[in-house]
């Protein structure tokens, strides 16, 4: 099988690497096609939120064609989170942790985010565009103060510039390895997720389009949903939303 690093297309600036990757995917680009840009002028987060993407960060999107059923799509975010935590730890030696569903934190601050956008037709996943944004060597002190949570950059957490290319290569290597295991060894992936999780065992509040679910985060299920036990002991599976760590 060809490695993901064989199909990297690089740009100085794009609107969003998600848009370029999506275009490639609909034109039939093979799995593992990677779009990387030095900056984005319309980078986006979930629910169309703005993602700040100046030069000095790592902004990429990967075309995936996973053979999983649509209800299991959250597994791709689990895969990406594990890949990012592993790769950031490998390259920088920092203590990168996973905050469900799509944040990578160091010292309680967001250093990276994940965005998955899927095309589904006839109840089949056609492709998933996996977007990854990492604040590597950028100045986050100029970011607006109304971010969802405090932001940081790898440079600030490890006290020096980080090699963006080395980080990209680590991500593509780890992503490929974990992706090959996605369908047959999901439990192993979840084991690593549990190890890096900064969510499990905490009291959390998840907001989902106006609705709140509060309780203790107890585990991930086989779909990649977070299991939250409420005060009555009832366990609810949550597939998406914004999570606040209460304690
Ligand atoms: C995310 O959304 O965290 C997903 C971020 C995915 C970005 C990548 S970059 C490559 C690819 N191309 C794209 O256009 N996107 C992907 P969410 O959890 O919804 O968080 C969005 C929120 O994070 C914003 O509303 C801000 O509050 C905050 N934010 C924006 N830019 C940030 C940054 N660079 N670092 C930390 N927080 C940021």
Residue 116 near ligand 1, beta carbon < 6 Å: no
Residue 197 near ligand 1, beta carbon < 6 Å: no
Residue 56 near ligand 1, beta carbon < 6 Å: no
Report the separation in Å between the CA atom of 48 and the middle of ligand 1, taken as the mean of its atom positions. Answer: 10
List the residue whose alpha carbon is closest to atom 11 of ligand 1. 131
Give residue 209's pLDDT.
76
Give residue 96's pLDDT.
98
Q: Which atom of ligand 1 is nearest to the CA of 46?
A: 19
Give residue 6's pLDDT.
82
Residue 100 near ligand 1, beta carbon < 6 Å: no
Q: Say if CB 207 and CB 101 are below 8 A apart.
A: no
Give residue 210's pLDDT.
78
Long-range Cβ contact pairs of 46-53 (< 8 A, separation 24 or more):
46/102, 46/115, 46/240, 49/148, 51/113, 51/115, 51/133, 52/143, 53/133
Give residue 1's pLDDT.
55
Distance CA 221, CA 134 (A): 27
Q: Say if CB 167 and CB 58 are below 8 A apart.
A: yes
Give residue 118's pLDDT.
97
Instruction: Name residues of the chain where pLDDT drops below 50.
Output: none
Neighbouring C-alpha atoms within 13 Å toward the C-beta of 84: 34
Distance CA 101, CA 107 (A): 17
Report the separation in Å between the CA atom of 50 and the middle of ligand 1, taken as the mean of its atom positions. Answer: 6
Give residue 211's pLDDT.
85
Report the separation in Å between the CA atom of 51 and the middle of ligand 1, taken as the mean of its atom positions. Answer: 4
Burial (CB count within 10 angstroms: exposed 0-12, middle 13-18, buried 19+), residue 214? middle
Give residue 183's pLDDT.
76
Residue 44 near ligand 1, beta carbon < 6 Å: yes
CA angle 94, 96, 99 (to 5 degrees): 165
Q: Which helix (H) or strand (E) holds 172?
A: helix 164-181
Q: For residue 94, what are the contacts with CB-CB under 8 A and spacing of at least 6?
A: 88, 106, 154, 157, 158
Q: Which residue has the tokens 């709140």?
A: 212
List the residue whose alpha carbon is closest to atom 28 of ligand 1. 147
Distance CA 26, CA 129 (A): 11
Give residue 59's pLDDT.
98
Mutate to test the pocket of ligand 1, among 11, 45, 100, 104 (most ligand atoms within 8 A of CB): 45
Q: Say if CB 106 and CB 157 are below 8 A apart.
A: yes
Residue 134 near ligand 1, beta carbon < 6 Å: no
């Amino acid at each position: 099988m060809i490695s993901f690093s064989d199909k990297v297309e690089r740009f100085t600036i794009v609107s969003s690497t998600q848009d370029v990757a999506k275009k490639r995917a609909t034109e039939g680009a093979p799995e593992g096609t990677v779009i990387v840009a030095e900056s984005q002028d319309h980078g986006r987060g979930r629910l169309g939120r703005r993602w700040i993407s100046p030069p000095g960060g790592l902004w990429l999107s990967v075309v995936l064609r996973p053979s999983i059923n649509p209800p299991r799509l959250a597994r791709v975010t689990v895969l990406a989170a594990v890949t990012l935590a592993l790769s950031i730890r490998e390259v920088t030696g920092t203590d990168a942790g996973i905050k469900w569903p799509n944040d990578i934190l160091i010292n309680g601050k967001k250093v990276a985010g994940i965005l998955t956008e899927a095309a589904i037709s006839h109840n089949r996943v056609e492709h998933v565009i996996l977007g990854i944004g990492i604040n590597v060597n950028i100045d986050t002190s100029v970011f607006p103060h109304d971010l969802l949570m405090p932001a940081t950059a790898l440079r600030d957490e490890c006290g020096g510039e980080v090699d963006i290319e080395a980080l990209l290569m680590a991500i593509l290597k780890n992503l490929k390895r974990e992706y090959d295991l996605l369908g047959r060894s999901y439990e192993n992936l979840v084991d690593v997720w549990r190890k890096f999780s900064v969510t499990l065992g905490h009291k959390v509040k998840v907001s989902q389009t106006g609705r709140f679910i509060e309780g203790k985060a107890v585990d991930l299920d086989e779909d990649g949903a977070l299991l939250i036990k409420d005060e009555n002991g009832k366990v609810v599976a949550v597939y998406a939303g914004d999570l606040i760590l209460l304690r």
